[in-house]
Structure 1
């Protein structure tokens, strides 16, 4: 699929864009994920459901294609930002102003661009390494988003947030989510439980600004304790793992906790698994 002189066939960019969208839908189609929207229920969200998330994912598909093409053309960060801003505008129009996938536009968009760049130039390294090497400095220098709940939570609680994760090459994807997917597949022998295992592992390991925004430090700590306990008891290898995971999910809903950043990282890990590291 790789052409010479940094040019990638349009059909490969289309494949990258479709895989990015498919992975957003795979994340949605995973249950139980503590506090998160799924095909079963709305989790801790009163403003969105599975249908609106599918509509949002479909709306973003052409923008992921465009980001892959931009990466294949060697685009710098300002070009990627412009595409991301346009994607967010269309997402909000499609959802009636609901922020369904802002974090995924940023993180998945960078990985799509990296996939395009790697295919176009035969670049070595993982997608995360390409993001860090090509755009990491620019990500770190980006002006803070105005009125961002994630930015405010990161500042208040002294945590890194999505930009720090991206600038470092998505270590939570590679060091947490992907190993947990493998472990979950071994324990349960099925794809959906493996995704639950990865989601729980991410909640246990990541300082998710969404959790800090919704529940403060106490809520984030409670979320981490619950997910860590699930993993330490054997995760999806337990006979009653689903019952335990549903109980954690319901507790998150009662506490109004939703680890949206971990959901984005899960979708990104699925994308990396599909495209290749």
Structure 2
């Protein structure tokens, strides 16, 4: 039993890890189902990808269904970071086995996994769910461990990060996910409160992210020029009213055609979108 468990009464220690795990999977499914998404896989097309489709993502989600519950339980138990990392490594292996070696959710295994663990840990400490921003900041509990953990220098994202000198998800996590706290979650919350349907609110948030994030997937596929082009397209969409404007879906379809022509896919932004939906949903857990 962890030191945290010794100081909290049983009622406070009761965390529904299975519910947090289900919310995580549902958030990844919401991101997949959302359309139109420039360059990204949806139930209707494969975007800029010729090696995966919606079925690939669904197989991956099925393989990950226990991971998020397990990492929530580890977070609630105040398990050491090594335990979280071991769970993440196992989840990645399960994903690759289910998809035939295709990386569908590596970024989400890392970021969403940490946020699920942090949400469970916060719930255990306080006896209730906490606001999204507090969950993001709680990830800083593992900042030193994140800095010390080995990197996969051979991954496309890490190669792009080093080549272009931009921070990656590890730096975002150690800083308490400022992109989620200051941009994505407020954008999504505002869009929903303003009455946009879920998919419209998600598309609005995605394009805000694409406009602002140094997305390593975009850098890997298109270099600095590809990233700059994608950001310009996203800013134009948002500045033109985004998903609040009439005909927004047709505009986003046209933008998507340009992404596909350039083989660009904002996968890092898509991961943050799923994380944003989870953070809002867990507030009611």
TM-score surpassing 0.5? yes
Of 34, 47, 52, 2:51 maps to: 47
C-alpha deviation, 1:119, in angstroms: 1.8
Match of 1:7 in 2: 13
Task: Tell me which of 249, 259, 267 is aligned to 2:256.
Answer: 249
Question: When the two structures are superposed, what TM-score results if normalisation uses the length of structure 2?
Answer: 0.91
Match of 1:146 in 2: 153
Whether the 8 Å CA contact 2:153–2:159 is kept in 1: the answer is no
TM-score, normalization: structure 1?
0.94
1:130 alignment counterpart: 138
Distance 2:237 2:195 in 1: 14
Q: CA RMSD in A?
A: 1.8
CA distance in 2, matches of 1:254, 1:142: 37
Structure 1 alignment gaps of length 5 or more: none
CA change 1:121–1:33 in 2 (3 A) is same
Alignment CA distance shift 1:78-1:119 (3 Å):
same
Using the TM superposition, give the Cα deviation of residue 212 of structure 1 relative to its aligned residue in structure 2, in angstroms: 0.2
After superposition, the Cα gap between the structure-2 partners of 1:82 and 1:6, relative to the gap in structure 1 and judged at 3 Å, is farther
Tell me the matched-pair count: 273
**1: CA distance between counterparts of 2:33 and 2:256?**
15
Alignment correspondent of 1:78: 82
Q: 1:184-223 maps to which residues of 2 (within 5 A)?
A: 184-185=191-192, 189-223=196-230
Q: Which of 217-226 and 134-143 deviates more?
A: 134-143
Which string of whole-angstrom CA distances, capped at 9 and with x for unpartnered residues, describes residues 79-118 of structure 1?
1000000000111011111011000000000011111111
CA drift of 1:256 comes to 0.4
Check 1:274–1:186 CA distance in 2 against 1; reply closer, same or farther (3 A cut).
closer
Out of 170, 173, 177, the residue aligned to residue 180 of structure 2 is 173
Question: Counterpart of 2:5?
Answer: none
Where does residue 160 of structure 1 map in the other structure?
167
* CA spacing shift, 1:135–1:38, aligned 2, 3 Å: same
**Counterpart residue number, 1:88:** 92
Which residue of the partner structure matches residue 269 of structure 1?
276
3-state DSSP of counterpart to 2:264: coil
**Aligned equivalent of 1:224:** 231
Match of 2:30 in 1: 26
Deviates more, 1:13-22 or 1:121-130: 121-130
The match for 1:102 is 106
Report deviation, 1:127: 0.8
Does the CA contact (< 8 Å) of 1:111 and 1:128 recur in 2?
Answer: yes
User: Is residue 36 of structure 1 aligned with residue 40 of structure 2?
Assistant: yes
